[in-house]
Amino acid sequence: MSLWWWILGACGAAYAIKLSGFAVPAWILEHPRVARIAACMTVGLLASLVVVNTVADGQRLALDARLLALAAAVVALMLRAPFIVVVLVGAVAAAVGRLVGLA
């Protein structure tokens, strides 16, 4: 039962964070320094998400079929494939990697 409370609490916190952004007056966001920090953070967050999803296995670093997915996705992006195609290419690359014995 206590897990339920933590789940609902985490959902509430997630929503409160989202809502808090809406409470910030627009003029603050239009401040060049704030806009710059926001833009830099977006790039940093996404790069970090790529790494975590590619090599993290909990708190361990693991080199496995996901690296193949990353490489294949980058190739697809260089060929200007649309988003959905890039995602499918990533899935197929990881699945094929596992089929041939990569972890």
Partner 1 sequence: MSLLALARSSPAVRAGLSIAVATGAYGISFGALAVTAGLTVWQTCALSLLMFTGGSQFAFVGVIAAGGSPASAFGAATLLGIRNGVYGMQVSALARPRGWRRPLAALLTIDESTATMLAQHDPAERRRGFWTAGLGVYLGWNAMTAVGALAGNAFGDPKALGLDGAAVAAFVALLWPRLTGREPWAIAVVCALVTTIAVPLVPSGVPILIAAVVAGLFGLLGPAPAAGATRSVDEAAR
77: tokens are 């992006």
Residues near partner 1 (CB under 8 A), total: 78
Q: How far is the CB of 37 from partner 1 (least distance, A)?
A: 3
Residue in 75, 76, 71 with CA at minimum distance from that of residue 55: 71
Q: How far is the CB of 25 from partner 1 (least distance, A)?
A: 9
Return the closest-CA partner of residue 69 out of 80, 77, 59, 61.
77
Tell the smallest beta-carbon distance from residue 2 to partner 1 (Å). Answer: 7
The partner residues of 57 in beta bridges, in order of sequence, read: 60
**Taking CB under 8 A as the criterion, which residues in 27-86 touch partner 1?**
28-30, 32-33, 35-56, 58-61, 65-66, 68-70, 72-74, 76-77, 82-84, 86
Residue 1 lies near partner 1 (rule: CB under 8 A): no
Angle of CA points 35, 31, 12, to nearest 5°: 60
